[in-house]
Chains A and B, each alone.
Chain A
Amino acid sequence: MSAVFEQIFQVGFLAAIIRIATPLAFATLGEMFSERAGVLNLGIEGIMLLSAMAGFTAASLSGSLWLGVLVAVLVGALMGALHALFTVALGLSQHVCGIGVTLFCSGLAYFLYRLIFGQQSVPPSIKGFQPVPIPLLSDIPILGPAVFNQFTLVYLAIIAIPLAAFVLYRTPWGLSVRMVGENPRAADSAGVSVIATRFQAVILGGALMGLAGAFLTMAQFNAFTFGVVSGRGWVAIALVVFGRWDPWRSAGAALLFAFVDALQLRMQASGLGHIPYEAFLMLPFIFTIVAMAFMSRNAVAPSALLKPFRREER
């Protein structure tokens, strides 16, 4: 046990947690905005994959990582708009559309990647983002090098969490998002455009999912592989529920999952413990399913989630 404790308090371990948590935090915040507006986006897994591919391709062809990030965000927003077109404008079933968007985006990502890069035994890689130490803060013992000597995208994620909470709880637009997710009829009576607000929230969500994808291929792995997302989108779906649709709690859930994931990676590498690493990877899903059973009585989910809004229908 003491060996495990020593591992935990290593700088490298803390830094690994932060790095694993970053794409999850972006994706979870993205899914949260969408769901708070009443739209479940099961397209997340595919949107992350397509953005990861598009960003990597743009960065590798242009040589500019930031252009890659921009492309990933735009592709994510575009796919968010596609999901919104089907589920918000046309009022189609959200879960089936989400699966459709995931199938479509994943297929397109694989197809275009194979078309552009061909079949290679070693996937082409790029020189990804490098850590940018923040002066003074990075000198704090343990915490400094772990948290303040990271990629710029990590800092962006750290800023995104309070920003998301501020936008959701303290701005008129955030109020509109919460209204159309809880009681679209009342929001409509109050003069809030349900359709427009939902579109905006789902597109913003898609853009954040795009950032998550960008981080995977341009900071974490510096290459695109077919398994680069490998269920992280589904993890984000779980984390939103586990975090009770709140930015702080959801980000906290992402951090907790990252801790468990980093721990299993360490244990795998060091041969510590005999528990299969898959048992750790399963945890967020099992926890979420159990948590859902306990939470259902409190009804914390946005009331209008999964319900399309048509003005003329009562």
Chain B
Amino acid sequence: MFRLEARTSTPAWFNLALPLLAIAVALVLCSGLIAIAGAGVIEAYSVMLSASLGDSYAITETLVRAAPMIFTGLAVATAFRAKFWNIGAEGQLLAGAVASCAVGAIPMPGYLAMLLMALVGAAAGAIVALVPATLRVKFKVDDVVSSLLLNSVIYYALMALIEGPWKDTFSGYPISPPIEDSANFPVLIEGTRLHIGVVVALIAAPLIWFLIARTTLGFRIRVTGENPEAARYGGINVQRVLLSTALLSGALAGLAGVGEVGGVHFQVMSDISPGYGYSGIVVAMLARLNPLGVVPAALFLAAVMTGAEAMSRATGVPAFLSDVIQGTALLAMLVALLFTAYRVRRVGASA
């Protein structure tokens, strides 16, 4: 007989083993779809691997894809640490993109424009995230639903802008005017799209880790998430911590939008984010809400996305496989997390 038993602590190697297990399970399950599509599983996955990590150009493309998901992953991880259920990273990203694009279109010295784009974009994301947090703190409104619904509000606001007053007069499509050339983020390696925003994303992860693991605010965030009663008893203003967390989380998601505008698209269109905000939830869960884990998790999803397109061209398996892998990996990770709460114990048959 086997029995589930509550665990009090988990060994450190779980942090690495569980996401790897989840990813392995997702890849195995999705290999069924590759087989249904009539392609070789090994072949498809190896094309995916070589097209995303096989040469230096591929690696830069994967990094460019990963940057927004590092930011949204950090946004979700930070929020979930405080048990502020921010499902709204998608909308916060869009708000950051719109705000930074508006700033980037103003003629001014390039370095100043980039700095302002980052500041204004982060602020826009933070303000959006403040809405569900304020509603929760002041009116006890469920943050899951309110942050999710705000995504649709922001999306339609963006559409109204780019189909209306903000539409680029030189384009037939609903698309915003481009930012100034001088505000385009510098490319680090000639002939690639690797822009400075990717480096900022890679630096942001250890910074957020430090903030959460080593600072007073980080301590408050963790205690608020783990035990709000104890936090209150210990003199922590839980409501203020939730609002601060929301500002931080929203700012990070906003920066994801800034990077897409300044480094990749240079303008705003309706599909500027292929769901990076929702992918941030997958990234954060795979990372077990650890900011340092967000980087490899985002790189994994980015590699799957870049690899899937090449795999589709080479084998005819639809590139949408990457979306299925993403969803399956999230669900597998959630199941794997059960191992952190319970352990399977063998108990005597007579017991």
Which residues in A have their C-beta under 8 angstroms from that of B148? 42, 234, 237
CB distance from B251 to the nearest CB of A (A): 21
Mark B267-299 against chain A: 1 for CB-CB distance below 8 A, else 0: 000000001001001100100000000000000
Q: What A residues does B321 contact at CB under 8 A?
A: 107, 111
Contacting pair B320 A110 (CB below 8 A): yes
B150: shortest Cβ distance to chain A, in Å? 7
Chain B residues with Cβ below 8 Å from A156 are: none
Q: Shortest Cβ distance from A23 into chain B, in angstroms?
A: 17
Q: Would A285 and B320 count as touching, CB distance under 8 A?
A: no
Given A282-B152, A293-B141: A96 and B334 interface contact (C-beta under 8 Å): yes
Interface residues of A in 268-311 (CB under 8 A from B): 276, 278-279, 281-282, 285-286, 288-289, 292-294, 296-297, 301, 305-306
The verdict on A97 contacting B331 (CB below 8 Å), with A42-B148, A111-B33, A289-B146 known, is yes
Pair B318/A99 contact, Cβ less than 8 Å: no
Annotate A180-200 by CB proximity to B: 1 below 8 A, 0 otherwise.
000000000000000000000
- Chain B residues whose CB sits within 8 angstroms of the CB of A46 once the complex forms: 327
Residue of A nearest to B316 (CB): A115
B259 to chain A, nearest CB (A): 22
A107 partner, pick from B139, B163, B326, B338, beta carbons under 8 A: B326
Whether A285 contacts B330 in the complex (CB less than 8 A), given A92-B338, A103-B323, A293-B135, comes out as no
The answer to the question of A100 belonging to the interface, with a C-beta cut-off of 8 Å to chain B, is yes
Q: Which of B139, B145, B318, B323 contacts A115 (CB 8 A)?
A: B318
Q: Which residues, 111 to 142 on A, are CB-close (under 8 Å) to B?
A: 111, 114-115
Whether A292 pairs with B334 at a CB distance below 8 angstroms is: no
A279 near B323 with CB under 8 A, answer no
Judge whether B181 is part of the interface by a CB distance below 8 angstroms: no
Contact indicator B330/A103 (Cβ below 8 Å): yes
Residue of B nearest to A87 (CB): B334
User: Pick the contact of A286 from B139, B140, B153, B318 — CB < 8 Å?
Assistant: B153
Given contacts A285-B152, A292-B139, A292-B145, contact A101 B327 (CB under 8 A): yes
What is the chain B residue whose CB lies nearest that of A291? B141
* B281 close to A107 (CB less than 8 A): no
Query: In the bound complex, what is the Cα–Cα distance between A101 and B324 (angstroms)?
Result: 10
The contact of A100 among B135, B145, B327, by CB within 8 Å, is B327
Check A95–B153 contact: CB distance below 8 A: no
B152 touching A234 by the CB < 8 A rule? Answer: yes
Do A40 and B278 touch (CB < 8 A)?
no
Q: Does A162 contact B (CB under 8 A)?
A: no
Q: Which of A235, A292, A297, A306 contacts B146 (CB 8 A)?
A: A292
- Which of B145, B151, B330, B335 makes the CB contact (< 8 A) with A90? B335
A276 and B163 contacting across the interface, CB-CB below 8 Å: yes
B320 touching A114, Cβ below 8 Å: yes
Smallest CB–CB gap between B18 and chain A, Å? 14
Residue numbers in A under 8 Å from B146 (CB-CB)? 289, 292
Tell me whether B209 is interfacial, beta carbon within 8 Å.
no
Q: Which of B85, B142, B318 contacts A111 (CB 8 A)?
A: B318
Contact A115 B36 (CB under 8 A): yes
Contact mask for chain A residues 81-112; partner B; CB cutoff 8 A; 1 contact, 0 none = 00000100010110111011111111110110
Q: Is the CB of A237 within 8 A of B318?
A: no
The chain B residue with its CB closest to the CB of A97 is B334
Interface centre among B148, B285, B328, B338 (most CB of A within 10 A): B148
B270 smallest CB distance to A (angstroms): 10
Task: List 7 extra interface pairs beyond A95-B87, A282-B157, CB under 8 A.
Answer: A86-B331, A100-B334, A103-B282, A105-B327, A288-B145, A289-B153, A292-B142
10 contacts between A and B (CB under 8 A): A96-B281, A100-B331, A107-B325, A110-B318, A231-B152, A289-B131, A289-B135, A289-B146, A293-B135, A301-B142
